[in-house]
Structure 1
Amino acid sequence: MTTKETFSLHGENLLKKIKELIAEGNIRKITISDKSGKELLSFPLTIGVVGALLAPVFAAIGALAALIGECSITVEREEKSKEENGPDTKA
């Protein structure tokens, strides 16, 4: 099951918030839009993507943050429910 969550913030806080979201770990995709809703940048995150592989993405986000004022981040999260994991079979 995938859920979406949107955050509104100013450009200077953009990179910090994205790093926080990635650290949470259950993110599938992040989309950055300007205040009018136009999509500026979208990137998927896969399990195991860390460190050096994200450096170009962080550089692009940093450059984007310097150019825009207000923006929003839409985050797609992968949520696993108890139904997906099967019933509890403890005796």
Structure 2
Amino acid sequence: MNEAKPEAARAAVDSVVDAVRGLFHEGINRRVVVRDSDDDVVLDVPLAVGMVAALAAPVATTIGAGVALVGKCGIKVENRKPQASPPARVVDAE
């Protein structure tokens, strides 16, 4: 009877670990880009790094975002992974 609980707990832990890995992978592929009013890039970092910085120093992150918005900078999250093109269709001409 005690053997079922560790298996269920292990499955739950594996599920959480897989979810965190997926989020980290998405965070690496997405980037936070801050541009000034002349459309020049001021800051370009992976989203995962931005999230770690936001968790480590929330006050500094809030002040930086406020300064960027007051200074008429645009903050955008961009997906750097190229979109997969749809597969080509093969048509038989008979």
- TM-score, scaled relative to structure 2: 0.37
Q: Point out which structure has higher relative CO (alpha carbons under 8 A, 6+ apart).
A: 1
The structure with the greater share of residues assigned to helix is 2
State TM-score, norm by structure 1: 0.38
| Structure label with greater radius of gyration | 2
